[in-house]
Amino acid sequence: MIEGGIKPIIVTSVTLGKELHAGHILLLATADLLRTGLGSQEPITLVNNNTGPRAAGALVSMAEYAELSIEDTARLLTKGLITHEAVVDAYRGRVQSEELVAQTMTLLDGGRYDIFKIIADNMENKLSRAGFRVNIIPESGNLMDNQQVVEEVNPLWSSTGFIFSGEKGVRVLKRAGQLTASGKCLISLASLARKAIIRGEVPLTIFVDSAPDTADAVTSFASLDLGKAMQLQGTTVGFEGSVASGSKGEAKTLTELLDVFEGKLSLTTLKMALRYFVLYRPVNVPFIKTPNLGDSFYDFKDNQSLLNAIESCYGESIQFEANMQALISDLKSKVGEVTFGSDEKLNRSLSFLPLRTKSILETEPEKIVGSMKSVGWILKDPDEIASAVAKQGYVGEEAERRANLYFRGPEGLVIRDNFYQGTLKSIIRVKDQIESLSEEDFRLYETTINFCLERLGFNE
């Protein structure tokens, strides 16, 4: 729990019909950066979407293959009695028949079955090996316990089978008696917030995801008396300028990432590398004039280039930490009787150091989320762009073409903002102009730097 008794609940969601891939892992790394940024010790909640049309399609496909009824198949899957591989095969070859899928969705919306349980258990274990503390919960469980919350959003329309939120436009939560993706997302948010309220906490629920359904759920959440909810857009992975997908080439799975890192680095450092990756690697945005992180992706030539970048980030993160210790030593070497800098402007700024330190240590959670929602840095310098493109694995003419594209637009490369990273940058920027620091002011800087490092997850 952070200052003021606010309890941040960080949640994201994935359909675990197949393994998590690098895009999901980077989403979790973003969520983890937010978690440390908010000073939370709680695990991230990952809602396993096991009730939507894709889950229903996989269940129908599995039932057809096993020559079992849909309910029997759902029961066996809930008990984890069907192998991981068979579930993934069914998910990949899922049935698209609208009528059958609709009927099966109704069955799954009842909340009694957790059909992707075996994959969820497997992923929770592997995420723990990678250093992530993630609590995977089935969406079906939320639906079973809290489905009624959707009706509370708009009591006038309750029990009609059509529920919408009128907050800032119309957002449909239930249509023709069936929950929409936004409705399910809202139920998950409400379910988590309600548990915190029961424990006597004040929840701030943050959904890390770029999907429009998430935005709708977060907006609709405002009509419930369950605290505040926010959305933090994630960023996915792409290759050769397009978002990775089944047909255009998939990003490495979590297992493959672990295999690559096993033996090379200690496993928990994978998380450190990924967090540094989120902090410092640029993302591709389709329109640099109006950069929107919701449409962004980390672009690479291929999977190997992505792996190289992650591996390199681990080394860079170690170096960064060392640089920060050097910064503290450098500032310590300036300790004298009084504080003064090279010019009047800096001196004025230094006079506010105690106040500024206090405000950094007590920054409101909304501001921290807000900073991560925005673009911190746009790559404009041609050399800077060329270097970023090279790190994405592009060479020769292709690298030149991409660098040109990012330099001239409409696409561009940007780096996500982070309040604590920005604070450290501002200290680095002025440190050479500081000529002397009082012992007290040095302590303030030292406290700030260590606090920022902690909030960036370096001390975990």
Partner 1 sequence: MWLKRKYMQKEELIQNIWNDKKGKENGRAPYALYVALDSPRPNLEILTDSMFKVLSENTYEAPRWAETFGRAVICVGPGNNLECVLGEVKDDRSKRFVPVQTTEILNLEDMERLTSPIKTGSMAEIVLNSQPMTIEAFLISYVHMVDELIWEFFRKSFRYGQSLKKVMDEGFIVSLGSEDEILNAKMEDPTVSVRLYGSGVNKKVPKVMGGIKFKEQS
Site residues, partner 1 (CB under 8 A): 156-157, 159-162, 164, 166, 169-170, 172, 175-177
Cis? peptide before 410, omega within 30° of 0: yes
Closer residue to partner 1 in complex, CB, 81/102: 102
| Min dist. Cβ of residue 434 to partner 1 (A) | 54
Contact between residue 107 and residue 113 where contact means Cβ atoms under 8 Å apart: yes
CA-CA distance, 272 to 36, in Å (whole number)? 12
| Min dist. Cβ of residue 293 to partner 1 (A) | 25
Closer residue to partner 1 in complex, CB, 154/284: 154
| Min dist. Cβ of residue 178 to partner 1 (A) | 9
| Min dist. Cβ of residue 165 to partner 1 (A) | 10
Closer residue to partner 1 in complex, CB, 7/171: 171
| Min dist. Cβ of residue 155 to partner 1 (A) | 11
Contact between residue 285 and residue 233 where contact means Cβ atoms under 8 Å apart: no
| Min dist. Cβ of residue 258 to partner 1 (A) | 44
3-state secondary structure the chain: CCHHHEEEEEEEEECCCCCCEHHHHHHHHHHHHHHHHCCCCCCEEEEECCCCHHHHHHHHHHHHHHCCCHHHHHHHHHCCCCCHHHHHHHHHCCCCCHHHHHHHHHHHHCCCCCCCHHHHHHHHHHHHHCCCCEEEEEHHHHHHHHCCHHHHHCHHHCCCCCEEECCCCCEEEEECCEECHHHHHHHHHHHHHHHHHHCCCEEEEEEECCCHHHHHHHHHHCCCCCCEEEEECCCEEEECCEECECCCECCCEHHHHHHHHECCECCHHHHHHHHHHHHHCCEEECCCCCCCHHHCEEEECCHHHHHHHHHHHHHHHHHHHHHHHHHHHHHHCCEECCCEECCHHHHHHHHCHHHHHHHHHCCCHHHHHHHHHCEEEECCCHHHHHHHHHHCCCCHHHHHHHHHHHHHCCCEEEEECCHHHHHHHHHHHHHCCEEEEEHHHHHHHHHHHHHHHHHCCCCC
| Min dist. Cβ of residue 233 to partner 1 (A) | 23
| Min dist. Cβ of residue 132 to partner 1 (A) | 38
| Min dist. Cβ of residue 353 to partner 1 (A) | 48
Closer residue to partner 1 in complex, CB, 155/396: 155
Contact between residue 193 and residue 226 where contact means Cβ atoms under 8 Å apart: yes
| Min dist. Cβ of residue 292 to partner 1 (A) | 20
Closer residue to partner 1 in complex, CB, 176/338: 176
Contact between residue 293 and residue 233 where contact means Cβ atoms under 8 Å apart: yes
Closer residue to partner 1 in complex, CB, 157/280: 157
Contact between residue 257 and residue 25 where contact means Cβ atoms under 8 Å apart: yes
Closer residue to partner 1 in complex, CB, 118/186: 186
Closer residue to partner 1 in complex, CB, 65/157: 157
CA-CA distance, 217 to 195, in Å (whole number)? 18
Contact between residue 208 and residue 27 where contact means Cβ atoms under 8 Å apart: yes
Contact between residue 64 and residue 93 where contact means Cβ atoms under 8 Å apart: no
Closer residue to partner 1 in complex, CB, 160/333: 160
Closer residue to partner 1 in complex, CB, 162/287: 162
| Min dist. Cβ of residue 51 to partner 1 (A) | 18
Closer residue to partner 1 in complex, CB, 168/248: 168
Closer residue to partner 1 in complex, CB, 164/420: 164
| Min dist. Cβ of residue 13 to partner 1 (A) | 23
